[in-house]
A and B are shown apart, each in its own frame.
Chain A
Amino acid sequence: DAGVIQSPRHEVTEMGQEVTLRCKPISGHNSLFWYRQTMMRGLELLIYFNNNVPIDDSGMPEDRFSAKMPNASFSTLKIQPSEPRDSAVYFCASSLTGPGGSLTFGSGTRLTVV
């Protein structure tokens, strides 16, 4: 199994530009999560999907952030327009729903907004 695949690994963009992060979860996993990690705040849950449906997006910082999961094998996290404070590592993770479920993370996308 290839694991959770994220792209790109690194992204440097100018303030105001649109950024799209991509994720392919593990085949058969029915829950997908987007987390953001910074030194100050640690890992923050942004949004999660179950069976491709957004269940909880209360962690999405503001309207500039949006996430989609058009099918079971693909999800995107979009930031438009990007700001320097969005600089962080963005992780996608997937799991099988159910009590005691654990997460498998992708390698993350390191985003720098200048």
Chain B
Amino acid sequence: RKEVEQDPGPFNVPEGATVAFNCTYSNSASQSFFWYRQDCRKEPKLLMSVYSSGNEDGRFTAQLNRASQYISLLIRDSKLSDSATYLCVVTRGYNTDKLIFGTGTRLQVFP
């Protein structure tokens, strides 16, 4: 079983739509969680951290469910510029230095 699993997509949505991605992780001892964004042929960049109580940053909402070991990302009012691959990232167990990346979910927003 992969340490971090994501639906590869692609998710094709119209502008203005709401879209949600889920991610599951296998190590119950993982401590920190993140969503990264990667544009085509670019490096990954931090989108947001994911906190136990859930957190919001503008149109983006991230949630963590430790009991079920999954993380979600909700994007409201999708923009064309949101088109990218979204990578779910968790630390490997108690080691907060090692970040393990999922293979990503591709989002394509169309006009």
Binding site for B on A (CB under 8 A): 31, 33, 35, 41-43, 45, 48, 50, 55-56, 91, 95, 97-108
Q: A98-B96, A99-B32, A102-B49 are in contact. Are A43 and B101 (CB under 8 A)?
A: yes
Contact A99 B104 (CB under 8 A): no
Contact A48 B98 (CB under 8 A): yes
Chain B nearest Cβ from A64, distance in angstroms: 23
B16 within 8 A of A: no
- By beta carbon, the residue of chain A nearest B46 is A102
The total of Cβ contacts below 8 Å across the A-B interface reads 50
Produce 1/0 per residue, B66-92, CB < 8 A to A. Answer: 000000000000000000000100000
Contact B34 A42 (CB under 8 A): no
Q: Interface residues of B: mostly helix, strand, loop or mixed?
A: strand
Q: Interface residues of A: mostly helix, strand, loop or mixed?
A: strand
Stretch among B18-26, B37-45, B56-64 lining the A interface: B37-45
Q: Which of B31, B44, B97 contacts A48 (CB 8 A)?
A: B97
Contact A103 B98 (CB under 8 A): no
- By beta carbon, the residue of chain B nearest A41 is B103
A75 to B43, alpha carbons, bound, how many Å?
18
Chain B nearest Cβ from A38, distance in angstroms: 10
A98 to B25, alpha carbons, bound, how many Å?
21
A95 to B98, alpha carbons, bound, how many Å?
11
Contact B32 A105 (CB under 8 A): no
A42 to B98, alpha carbons, bound, how many Å?
16
- By beta carbon, the residue of chain A nearest B48 is A102
A55 to B44, alpha carbons, bound, how many Å?
23
Chain B nearest Cβ from A87, distance in angstroms: 15
